Amino acid sequence: LQRALALARAPAACLNFNCMLILLPVCRNLLSFLRGSSACCSTRVRRQLDRNLTFHKMVAWMIALHTAIHTIAHLFNVEWSVQARVEEKGTLAAVLSTLGDNPHESYINFYRNTIGNPVGGLYVAFTYLAGLTGVIITLALILIITSSTKTIRRSYFEVFWYTHHLFVIFFIGLVIHGAGRIVRGQTAESLGEHDPEVCYKNFTHWGKEGACPIPQFSGNPPMTWKWVVGPMFLYLCERLVRFWRSQQKVVITKVVIHPFKTIELQMMKKGFKMEVGQYIFVKCPAVSKLEWHPFTLTSAPEEDYFSIHVRIVGDWTEGLFNACGCDKQEFQEAWKLPKIAVDGPFGTASEDVFSYETVMLVGAGIGVTPFASVLKSVWYKYCHDATNLKLKKIYFYWLCRDTHAFEWFADLLQSLEAQMQERNNAEFLSYNIYLTGWDESQATHFVVHHEEEKDVITGLKQKTLYGRPNWENEFKTIAGQHPGSRVGVFLCGPEGLADTLNKQSISNSEADPRGVHFIFNKENF
């Protein structure tokens, strides 16, 4: 019993620590405040804050591991405690288990019935506070973790969203789990009179004259609340701030239908201030009264509105598409557009783009959206005054599977291209557009029109490339052109591409502090 109790209590202590941490990475307003405070957050610290969801997942897996160990250990504890109550008299376990049956005695075995296993074990699980809350929070944790897989999040986001809110039940159960005080220990006063190391040898004579007195026990007070009350209060404040901001009026000023099942929502909100690359959470009550979905802002801080691009890929986005009247042929009046609630903006890695002299921006598919904000902001800065701009060179890569996806973004690139040429700084922006999904007829078409001045797909002077970039060559070329500089590498795209770019950033960075260094940053929300 002692061994199993130790195996239960050690992971319980780890659970307290991890449950204290699990809510902090999802306090988005707190992280945005820390990110924006240059006094307490250097660039290196901000890069760690950008990994908040990765940290959140790691802590969640540790909670799952310690919960499993804690539960298994307590299954043995319960079995042995129940067995001790029905065991034959004369053993130490039987004597300890009968303590508390007589007046002026305190018990150590929390199980007071005389029903054996397995009924006794089930009785403990579903009638004791510790057992019942343990079952509930374990089931809640299983549902939360199994619905958080990438497949569920992408294909059935609503399942992920609703089951994740079982964390409320999890934390309530966690706080009251130890209130029954079933884990008991000998009191300090009793330890002075009854030394367990000595008295266990004569357990049959306890309480008799000249022998050890009967030991007295008390329940250990619950400790979990002390660990989680602070983060729970911070998260409550976080949700109150989100609720307050969600009640502020948002006006949709324009809805633009782009090719490749993408719509653009242009909105206005009093007091809304943003930085490049930030994201917001959007709720459309006409589609769902509870669901919030994250979207990168595609507008620039210099514009008098803020915008998002939404690709229609699921039930919620399909509902938003229909609510905005995009499924109708006739013009939609502004007053017929649905109400929208907005929470944010929140900081991301892309905010640090302007802190580097040289950057690589890599977008895959709709992942190009945060860089739309960056490139728009660059365009506005060049239109007004670019003398104070630290950023001197942008290498932009866009990987897309289908030609139609280029159309909504090509206008921005054309404007930026013309602006750079007008100011005799065409070298400021080097962009490479890769079409990763193509067939033989497209390749033939590409060869026929390759000599034309502008690309037949995008209308840009830079020709569309087919296939995927050779990242090793790209990194080595940039390293050779910018010796001794820190190059920011920013990605919004899939995990596989993130691993590739992260490895290339490490392998192409020099050990010499004065050499070139690639700093990898990835969008996470």
Interior/surface letters 386-398, b for 16+ CB within 10 angstroms, e for the rest: beeeebebbbbbb
For residue 221, the 8-state DSSP code is P
Q: What pLDDT score does 240 carry?
A: 92
- pLDDT at position 138: 96
> Residue 489 is which amino acid?
V
Q: Identify the DSSP state of 362.
A: E
User: Residue 51: in which H helix or E strand, if any?
Assistant: none
Phi-psi region of 256 (alpha: psi -120 to 50; beta: other; left: phi over 0): beta
| Residue 281 φ/ψ, nearest 5 degrees | -105, 135
DSSP string covering 180-206, please?
T--SEEE-HHHHHH--HHHHGGGGGGT
Neighbours of 291 (CB within 10 A): 18
Domains 248-346 and 349-522 share a fold: no
* 295 phi, psi to nearest 5 deg: -140, 135
Residue 139 and residue 169: Cα distance in Å, rounded? 10
The 10s digit of each residue's pLDDT in 307-318 is 998 888 878 888
Strand (E) or helix (H) holding 434: strand 429-435
Other residues' Cβ atoms within 10 Å of the Cβ of residue 21: 18
- Per-residue pLDDT of 464-483, as tens digits, reads 677 788 899 999 999 888 88
Residue 167 confidence (pLDDT): 94
What is the bridge-based pairing of β-strands 293-296 and 262-269? Answer: unpaired
Question: Which tokens is 452 given?
Answer: 């034309």
**Intra-chain end-to-end CA distance of the chain, in Å:** 45
Q: So what's the architecture of 349-522 in CATH?
A: 3-Layer(aba) Sandwich (3.40)
What phi-psi label fits residue 410: left (phi over 0), alpha (psi between -120 and 50 degrees) or beta? alpha
Note the helical H segments in 435-494: 440-449, 471-481
Structural domain spans, the chain: 1-183+220-236, 248-346, 349-522
The pTM score is 0.78
Instruction: Report the distance separating Cα 317 and Cα 312, nearest Å.
Output: 5
CATH topology for 248-346?
A: Elongation Factor Tu (Ef-tu); domain 3 (2.40.30)
Low-confidence residues in the chain, pLDDT < 70: 1-2, 36-43, 260, 332, 385-387, 402-412, 425-426, 438-464, 524-525
Q: Helix H segments across 385-485?
A: 407-422, 440-449, 471-481
What does the DSSP 8-state code read for residue 104? T
Report the largest interatomic distance among the alpha carbons of the chain, rounded to a whole angstrom: 109
Q: Do you find a cis peptide bond into 103, omega within 30 degrees of 0? A: no
Spacing of C-alpha 201 from chain mean position: 55
